Amino acid sequence: MIPIRYAKRTITDKEQIDQFLSQAKTGHLGMTNGIEPYIIPLNFCWLAGKLYFHGADSGRKIEMIQANNRVCFSVCEEYGTIADPVPAHVDTAYMSVFLSGTIERVVEPEEMREAMQAMLDKYVPGYFSEPLPLQHVLKYRSSMGSVTAVFRITPDTISAKGNLAGDEKKFFHGRKVEQDV
């Protein structure tokens, strides 16, 4: 884990981190080609300690990955605002995870299918009555004619932090400071 400056917010529970990464919907992939940074939002899945996503097999993202396979990925979920009679103590309830590692294109067909199936299970659970056919993964082309590429990030560092205040402290419309003093 990378040390977090505000140490009391550090989350080290691996199960909590795994559960968060399994449920969070959007992450941001950070890349650099050595000249400029590039960050893009992505849907993803967390599978067996690795992060997977898919996309076109050409374009700026591919060029950046080819120039430098070291990447970072950040996920943050906001759970509401924490009310407090002291204005400087008003805060945000959240959890975030930051990881860095190496990225590579998945070439093994079954691993591609497994990752794509995990994304379907995450984003449209129960929608499909049959598992994703391997042939669909191998033969699918986008409307622009590109092949779907599946990528795996193998993290070498993961850090997490959060402020997971209870509902009794969360702000709601109509809540007034007089209720909290």
Q: What is the pLDDT of residue 146?
A: 74
- For residue 71, the domain's CATH number is 2.30.110.10
8 A C-beta contact, residue 153 and residue 101:
yes
Helices (H), the chain: 14-23, 60-67, 109-123, 134-139
Question: pTM of this prediction?
Answer: 0.87
Give dist(CA 23, CA 179) in Å, integer. Answer: 34
Q: What is the pLDDT of residue 143?
A: 67
User: pLDDT under 50 in the chain at which residues?
Assistant: none
Q: What is the pLDDT of residues 143-167, one digit of tens each?
A: 677 778 999 999 999 999 998 877 7
Residue 179 belongs to some domain of the structure: no
Residue 49 belongs to some domain of the structure: yes
Residue 1 belongs to some domain of the structure: no
Residue 109 belongs to some domain of the structure: yes
Question: Which SS3 state, helix, strand or coil, does residue 75 take?
Answer: strand
Q: What is the pLDDT of residue 166?
A: 77
Residue 55, H or E segment: strand 50-56
Residue 174 belongs to some domain of the structure: no
Q: What is the pLDDT of residue 2?
A: 60
Residue 151 belongs to some domain of the structure: yes
Domain count, the chain: 1
Give dist(CA 150, CA 55) in Å, integer. Answer: 7
Q: What is the pLDDT of residue 8?
A: 77
Q: What is the pLDDT of residue 164?
A: 84
Percent of the chain with pLDDT over 90: 63
Residue 170 belongs to some domain of the structure: no
Q: What is the pLDDT of residue 3?
A: 66
